[in-house]
């Protein structure tokens, strides 16, 4: 694989494959609760193991899918005539990824479980993600009233939906 062929999707796919393998390993070494007479199909590691397998599968999809822009750039560098019109460039944006990682780490690593109600923290997290990370090259995004209104509608709706699903379907009490 040529270095120019390593796109963000392929790099991300490799990361997801490694993560999926770690999830499968973790689920494999979990206590199977055989001493309590738990059937193997309901052991605690079954669902995480299946999730890890699907993460690996979708990681391979990202790695193996054809990236038209990279293929065209490679063909042009080799002197071959391009086979299709080049789509708009989709460069990896390190600032956007860093801001997203910061928001995720602040949400999941520092604030979740700190006493702030889950629904409120999730609403704020989603609102900030929508407002600060949009499709424009500006990071953080320039203020846009339409995006702010959209965020003000979507963030509490999704936070409420997730809270209700966890509390009434999965029977998990959230902080």
Query: What is the model's pTM?
Result: 0.54
- What's the pLDDT band for 136 if we cut at 50, 70, 90? low
Structure-block tokens of residue 161: 């939906």
**Span 44-67, pLDDT tens digits:** 888 888 899 999 999 999 888 876
3-state class of 37 per DSSP? coil
pLDDT at residue 59 in the model:
92
Strands (E), 14-131: none
Whether 126 contacts 151, CB under 8 Å = yes
Whether 68 contacts 87, CB under 8 Å = yes
Helix axes 145-168, 118-132, angle to 10 degrees: 150
When the pLDDT of each residue in the chain is averaged and rounded to a whole number, the result is 80
Domain boundaries, the chain: 3-77, 94-168
Between CA 53 and CA 55 the distance in angstroms is: 5
Between CA 91 and CA 95 the distance in angstroms is: 12
Between CA 21 and CA 11 the distance in angstroms is: 16
Between CA 24 and CA 50 the distance in angstroms is: 8
Between CA 63 and CA 8 the distance in angstroms is: 9
**Span 84-126, pLDDT tens digits:** 544 444 556 778 788 889 999 999 888 887 889 999 999 999 9
């Amino acid at each position: 694989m040529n270095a120019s062929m390593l796109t963000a999707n392929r790099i991300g796919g490799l990361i997801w494959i490694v993560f999926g393998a770690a999830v499968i390993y973790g689920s494999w070494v979990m206590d199977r609760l055989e001493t309590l007479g738990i059937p193997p199909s309901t052991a605690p590691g079954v669902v995480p193991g299946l999730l890890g397998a699907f993460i690996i599968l979708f990681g391979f999809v990202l790695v193996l899918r054809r990236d038209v822009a990279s293929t065209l750039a490679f063909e042009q560098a080799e002197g071959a005539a391009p086979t299709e019109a080049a789509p708009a460039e989709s460069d990896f944006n390190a600032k956007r990824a860093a801001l997203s990682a910061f928001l995720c780490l602040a949400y999941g690593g520092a604030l979740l479980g700190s006493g702030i109600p889950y629904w409120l923290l999730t609403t704020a997290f989603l609102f900030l993600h929508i407002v600060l990370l949009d499709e424009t090259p500006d990071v953080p995004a320039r203020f846009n009233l339409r995006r702010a209104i959209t965020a003000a509608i979507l963030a509490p709706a999704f936070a409420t939906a997730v809270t209700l699903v966890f509390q009434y379907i999965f029977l998990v009490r959230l902080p």
